[in-house]
Amino acid sequence: MANDEPVNTGEVNDEQVTPEAISELAKRRGFFFGSSEAYGGVAGFYTMGPQGAALKGNVESAWRDRFAVKEGNQEIEAPTIMPEPVFEASGHLDGFDDMLVECGECGESHRADHLIEDETGIEEAETLPIPEVEALIEEHDLRCPNCGASLAGRPVEDFNLMFETSIGPGSGQTGYLRPETAQGIFVEFGRLKEYARNQLPFGVAQIGRAYRNEISPRRGLIRTREFTQAELEQFVDPERDEPSLDDVRDVEVRLYPATEQEKEGGDYLETTIGEAVETGVVANEWIAYYLGIAKRWFERVGVDADRFRYRQHLPGERAHYASDCWDAEAELGSVSASGDAADRLATDPSAGDWVEIAGFSYRTDYDLSKHGEHADESFTVFEQYDEPKTVERAVVDPDMSALGPEFGAEATDVADALRDLAALDPDAFGGDEVVVEIDGEEYAVPTDVANFRVEEQTESGEHVTPHVIEPSFGVDRTVYTVIAHAYARDEVDGETRTYLRFVPEIAPTSVAVFPLLSNDESLTALAGEIADDLREAGLSVAYDDSGNIGRRYRRQDEIGTPFCVTVDPEGVEGTGPETATVRERDSTAQIRVPVDELADELAAVRRGRKTFDDLRAAYGAVETADA
């Protein structure tokens, strides 16, 4: 008879799971908790505990496997601090702001758009212009969440989210903690393209920390000031490169396009990736490809497909670098999406608590072109033609003996500007003189001094500025989502059980090993050997010999351990091979497996090659006794 644990008898409750419930479980069981609490703590910074660090590491490994290894992409690790010119070129110094309103009574700062969304039901308030935000604050008489004072009439200002620092001693060089990992990839493009043998398309992935000085951090890992991103920058020639769309054509997705969001009572579009491309709902095939890849990946790591959607950014919502963007959003308000809850979430886009966990942006050539303008390096790729081509090119050969006396120190800049203008607008040289602009000042040059002409040239290729498709994942938000979607309650022997239904691949602890009796040396010795064998097979193992077996099961259920292996007298007695019971977390069903086969079988389940149902079919279920 196996280890006095009855099969679960109750159904999962379809009820709200509060952020407080997740936070309490996370702190008590070592997933995450506020940092520096011994000194009062600082909002927006969290420490991952032993379970959380392991869970996060497994999510990162699964992302690396899918988006770097299986896609054949490179991976780099860039510094988290970069000099100011990088962010001048990227546009973050001027365009990376949130709307701030400060209370006139207590001085507390708040994010204005969040106040509007929380108190009025208006969605996507961040897309509104500041005057409209100020008007809404006054119209609804919004008040300071800290002291209750009215915020009507208070100015709303743009607040740049980047952390500034000084590089080097003294005043040093101004630098910033990166607000995204992407710029570390873009600034190294000149070297990375060589590693890719100058062949488009190619992708560069990075998993690392990013920093944003959030006005009002909130809700645990959802909005923090330091977080981990997993980003892929896919560099393509927009005229020649296409993704393998057939690989994802049949992936089913729930889309919430901008056109539906702007309608009164807009609805979801339940479709496939192939149909979304064919109908033009997703205009860019590369974006569509990664939406399909990501949908499968999110399901792989345990995101509930019934509580998952793709929402297109509204025009005023898009980042300064994006021409189109879709967010992967997860619903975090329910314990599960079954019955009425599932119907409501599937048919009403306004129902549920939706949070962005990934973004898919078409960044065009914005980033590489900007860095090409500011840096002393080429951000293009030279693509050779199949056969050389004869083309007509407009060229100028300025007479420097005339430009020098006329323009002095600016003569060289004028000559360069003439060459650039000839490439962009040959018709500008049709009159008696041509005008170029340098730093806002115009210079008129006689056309004969410019020496403009059109020549036939034979070219073997051309320089292309790649376009960029960026799947960007919030790792911490994904971890939080996985915990929220795994959170479940049922009844076992009349008692309520809380447990986390992590998939085996990402569970922080793969297997727990127990000797049924802690004072039996034969059982404890064999349990120790089994734990060592499982670790040798690459599994994360917890060993526990304290308390009754039911309590040990509950501890592992609450941290999401998929399997518990128990060594009992029945398994070591007799003349046959030694056996141990394997108890599955969700069903609490048990099977008995030969000790020599445990490591291989559980490792196969951990890697997705087998399921527990496969093991149950092979070894048969074991009857359990009431506790």
Residue 231, beta-bridge partner list: 206, 472
Q: What is the pLDDT of residue 2?
A: 54
Contact 26, 32 (CB under 8 A): yes
d(CA 458, CA 210): 47
pLDDT at 626 over 50: no
Q: What is the pLDDT of residue 95?
A: 78
Over the chain, what is the mean pLDDT?
A: 91
Tell me the pLDDT band of 4, cut-offs 50, 70 and 90: low
| pLDDT tens per residue across span 379-418 | 999 988 877 888 888 889 999 999 999 999 899 999 999 9
Mean per-residue pLDDT, 371-375: 91
pLDDT at 625 over 80: no
pTM: 0.86
Q: What is the largest CA-CA distance in the chain?
A: 107
Q: What is the pLDDT of residue 627?
A: 31
**Across 194-321, where does the E strand assignment appear?**
202-211, 226-236, 252-256, 269-272, 308-312
Helix, strand, or coil (residue 112): helix
Choose among 58, 59, 56, 49: nearest CA to 29. Answer: 49
Q: What is the pLDDT of residue 1?
A: 45
Q: What is the 3-state secondary structure (H, E, C) of 84-97?
A: HHHHHHHCHHHHCE
Which of 156-170, 264-278, 428-442, 447-461 bottoms out in mean pLDDT, i.e. has the lowest?
447-461
Q: What is the DSSP string of 141-193?
A: T-B-TTT--B-TT--EEEEE-PPEEEESSTT-EEEEE-SSSHHHHHTTHHHHH
Q: What is the pLDDT of residue 527?
A: 96
Q: What is the pLDDT of residue 126?
A: 84
Domains observed in the chain: 1-26+509-627 (3.40.50.800), 386-462 (no CATH)
Q: What is the pLDDT of residue 144?
A: 93
Q: What is the DSSP letter of 420?
A: H
Tell me the pLDDT band of 357, cut-offs 50, 70 and 90: very high
Q: What is the pLDDT of residue 474?
A: 98
Tell me the pLDDT band of 14, cut-offs 50, 70 and 90: very low
Choose among 318, 307, 308: nearest CA to 360. Answer: 318
Mean per-residue pLDDT, 465-478: 97
pLDDT at 125 over 80: yes
Q: What is the pLDDT of residue 456?
A: 83
Mean per-residue pLDDT, 253-268: 94
d(CA 64, CA 616): 32
| pLDDT tens per residue across span 102-114 | 999 998 999 999 8
Q: What is the pLDDT of residue 575?
A: 75
- Give residues with Cβ within 8 angstroms of 118, minimum separation 6: none
Which of 68-77, 141-150, 269-278 bottoms out in mean pLDDT, i.e. has the lowest?
141-150
Q: What are phi and psi of 437, to 5 degrees?
A: -120, 130
| pLDDT tens per residue across span 574-598 | 778 999 999 999 999 999 999 999 9
d(CA 181, CA 80): 8
Between the alpha carbon of residue 235 and those of residues 203, 242, 245, 320, the distances in Å are 6, 11, 17, 19
d(CA 512, CA 476): 25
d(CA 546, CA 548): 7
| pLDDT tens per residue across span 151-185 | 999 999 999 899 999 999 877 799 999 999 999 99
Mean per-residue pLDDT, 510-523: 93
Cis bond before residue 577 (omega within 30° of 0): no
pLDDT at 69 over 70: yes
Q: What are phi and psi of 39, to 5 degrees?
A: -115, 25
